[in-house]
Amino acid sequence: MNKDKIFELFENGDMASANPKGTLVEKILDSPYNKIGMFTKLIINHFTFHKKLKKFFKEEGTEFNMEKVKEASQYTVFNRAWYYIEQIDVKNKDHIKAIGEFECLTFNKALQDSISHFEDREEYERCAHLFKIKEIVNTFENS
């Protein structure tokens, strides 16, 4: 077994390069499927976290302003999730393919929750982008 051949699988044989640009990991992280996944995971896990946090403080009997914490964390999470989903180009066939490959029900819920969040803040450009993606998800869901 040639150990150099094994590393070629992961780094295109360019072991001497100090610049990791173009590596398999970078390509995966930059893929539209990964960006959709990060967006969805942030939104869905955010709601799960709040349910657990509320249950924890209720069981502990601790005074806690849940609404203020929820508002602050929603701002952070939705804006971070936006960072990923804004990179999805609804005119790019590879991005459309990635949308179609993602699990529709969960992705659709994350999109709808995000649309609602940004509507409340009157960020309609973001809503428009999310809505275009949601329309594509719906075409895959209905086919």
Q: Which of 95, 102, 100, 92 is nearest to 139 (CA)?
A: 100
Residue 42: band (very low, low, confident or very high) from pLDDT cuts 50, 70, 90: very high
Token pair for residue 6? 């094994």
Number of domains present in the structure of the chain? 2
Least confidently predicted of 6-15, 30-39, 52-61, 89-98: 6-15
Is residue 111 a contact partner of residue 36, using CB atoms and an 8 Å limit?
no
Distance separating alpha carbons of residues 132 and 87, to the nearest angstrom: 13
Token pair for residue 54? 């509320």
Are 36 and 102 within one domain?
yes
Are 78 and 126 within one domain?
yes
Are 25 and 37 within one domain?
no
Are 21 and 54 within one domain?
no
Distance separating alpha carbons of residues 44 and 103, to the nearest angstrom: 13
| One-letter amino acid for residue 37 of the chain | G
Are 119 and 138 within one domain?
yes
Are 81 and 40 within one domain?
yes
Are 16 and 54 within one domain?
no
**Model pTM?**
0.75
Host domain of residue 94: 31-142
Q: Which parts of 1-143 fold into alpha helices (H)?
A: 3-11, 24-29, 32-60, 66-85, 93-101, 104-120, 124-142
Are 58 and 25 within one domain?
no
Are 36 and 13 within one domain?
no
Are 44 and 66 within one domain?
yes
Is residue 137 a contact partner of residue 99, using CB atoms and an 8 Å limit?
yes
> Per-residue pLDDT tens for 54-65?
788 778 877 778
Distance separating alpha carbons of residues 43 and 5, to the nearest angstrom: 40
Are 12 and 77 within one domain?
no
Is residue 99 a contact partner of residue 88, using CB atoms and an 8 Å limit?
yes
Are 8 and 43 within one domain?
no
| One-letter amino acid for residue 55 of the chain | K
Residue 16: band (very low, low, confident or very high) from pLDDT cuts 50, 70, 90: very low
